[in-house]
Amino acid sequence: MGQLSGKVAVVTGASTPRGIGSAIASRYAQEGASVFLVAEGTREQLEQVQRACREHAEAGRVEHALFDLSQRGAAEAMIGDAVERFGRVDILVNNAAIRAQHDFEDYTREIFERVIAVNLAAPFFASQAVVPVMRRQGGGRIINIASQLARVTYARRALYGLTKAALVHLTKSLAYEFGRDGIMVNSISPGPIRTQFVIDRDAADPEGARRRVGTYVPIGRLGEPWEIAEAALFLASTTATFLQGEDICVDGGYTTH
């Protein structure tokens, strides 16, 4: 029996085969959870992650759906779809996000509103929709994927960091409000992780990549998606019963300076 046997997890932003969302989904499946994969990406990508999750012997049901979480009502519809398919939601991982990188004066209102919609409004309304479900079940876990840039700044990341800092605040607010309902709410702030996006970026500028790691990451390397998945497993498991409203920074020491 896996640590999450009998549990149902909804993981957003799960379509990238080498991404944090897909790593979390796969780890949950490995521990026996049924997983609902959600993304705005392609159905082919989701099916690839779905197959990878199903390869685990302990995995429960693994299903997927496309939702554009920047649209009004999409987050609520996602939770409704999950409940209709699985009958319950025990774990919600709000992972989907847009990486906005612009000089401050170049942010348009359109960019601002879309980034806010995905990075902050979607977790807000998905959590709002899932709380009554978890309350009826006697509890649940909400895990928000924030960023080390919720704590520190970096060039051309003003809007991204703003949304992630707000997400950490939302985590604490929900933890305070719903702890007595057995709903545990925490966040993870990953540092530089070797996702497909980062691999592609660094391949185009290997010298810049070495400089960034050497300057900002005391451990001397990028993190791996599975290392974030291990933190997400801990927060989702029954052993994490007194950890509430915390942001766990998994960043190789990025925020130590």
- Evaluate whether 10 touches 93 at the Cβ level (below 8 Å): yes
Q: In the annotation, is 154 catalytic? A: no
Residues 6+ apart with CB under 8 A from 6: 32, 60
Q: Which of 160, 176, 216, 254 is catalytic?
A: 160
Give me the sign of the Cα torsion angle 11, 14, 17, 18: negative
- Evaluate whether 171 touches 232 at the Cβ level (below 8 Å): no
- How many helices (H) does the chain have, and how many strands (E)? 9, 7
- Evaluate whether 62 touches 54 at the Cβ level (below 8 Å): yes
Q: Which residues are catalytic, by number?
A: 160
